[in-house]
Amino acid sequence: MKIKQTQGLIASIICAIFMLGLLVTSSTPSWWELGSSQAETPESITLINSGKAGGSFNARTQMYKEGLTAAGYNVQYENIGKISQAVKMFKASSGPTIMVYANNQVYKQDLFHTENNFIIAEYQQPLYVCRTNASKDKTGNLTVAHGKGYDPKLLTTLLGDNVTLVPYKNSGAMLKGILGGDVDMMVNNQGKSFKYIKSGHGTCEASDVLPIMVATVIGTNIDVQKIRDIIFNITMDVQFIEYHTSRKLVRPTSTWEQELAFTQELEKGYEVK
């Protein structure tokens, strides 16, 4: 009788230990579950938007935002809308940060393309000088729309003194301005210039005097080679390809070293001498 009682007690103890083990196991994540959870934590990146709605900087930034999110990044979006303030934030950033940029901004913003910040040369294009049909025979001073990021001294040097420069917030605003008859001329990018030609209100010609513009993506506190692969893949998406194709933008796709050297050489054309 005592033996049976002892055996029953032992069985009860073993059963209790077994159930306790199951409880602990079920409530404690295994090492591979912990590793998997950590691996799936999205990587954070700050994306600064230096452009305003209707402009090319803004349009490009929105596509990169969608692409980075689709690639699994936790995108911290900073909608600044002004190039000078965006550059200030970029320089002060302490975490992984990227921003669309262009070589025509470097001297005015004092932010140059270097091996530490250069990610990709997205496309290149000539700048166009457009003129209204109404001002074709106009003599005297001509009003010329230009982007706020352009250096007025450079434009005056290249276009002559017989002009009054009228700064606009972006390429889209310039197009609206010249279509509305607010200015006689504009210096604009290829996409907006093609739209103006199509309107029939005037003519545009690619400038052989103004420097070639290179649209870029730059970064700070980030592995530029690693993020370059992600950015390049985003630009190969249908949305980006259509954006480039519809505006006849040339992609200077090459090695990172060659693209950087190409961009740095062309940005020298924007120096005011």
pLDDT tens across 71-129, in order? 999 999 999 999 999 999 999 999 999 999 999 899 989 999 999 999 999 999 888 99
pLDDT surpasses 60 at 6: no
Percentage of residues of the chain with pLDDT beyond 70: 85
Q: What are phi and psi of 182, to 5 degrees?
A: -80, -25
pLDDT surpasses 70 at 225: yes
How high is the pLDDT of residue 12? 53
Give the DSSP H or E segment for 27. Answer: helix 2-27
How high is the pLDDT of residue 40? 61
What domains sit in the chain, N to C, each tagged with a CATH number?
39-123+213-270 (3.40.190.150), 128-206 (3.40.190.10)
What is the rounded end-to-end Cα distance, in angstroms, of the chain? 109
Which of the residue ranges 14-18, 55-59, 74-78, 251-255 has the most confident prediction, judged by mean pLDDT? 74-78
Q: Which residues contact 176 (CB under 8 A, 6 or more apart)?
A: none
Q: Which residues contact 83 (CB under 8 A, 6 or more apart)?
A: 50, 51, 57, 105, 109, 148, 149
Write the Ramachandran bin of 56: left for phi over 0, alpha for psi from -120 to 50, otherwise beta: alpha
How high is the pLDDT of residue 273? 66
Tell me if 124 sits within 8 A of 212, measured CB to CB. Answer: yes
Query: Residue 25: how many CB atoms within 10 A of its CB?
Result: 9
CA distance 252 to 122: 7
Instruction: Sheet containing 142-147: give its strands across.
Output: 163-168, 142-147, 185-188, 128-132, 202-206
How high is the pLDDT of residue 33? 42
Q: Which residue has the tokens 């870029």?
A: 216
pLDDT, tens digit (0-9, with 9 covering 90-100), for 44-63: 999 999 998 888 899 999 99
pTM of the shown model? 0.73
Quickly state the pLDDT bin for 210 (edges 50, 70, 90): confident
Q: Average pLDDT, stretch 126-145?
A: 92
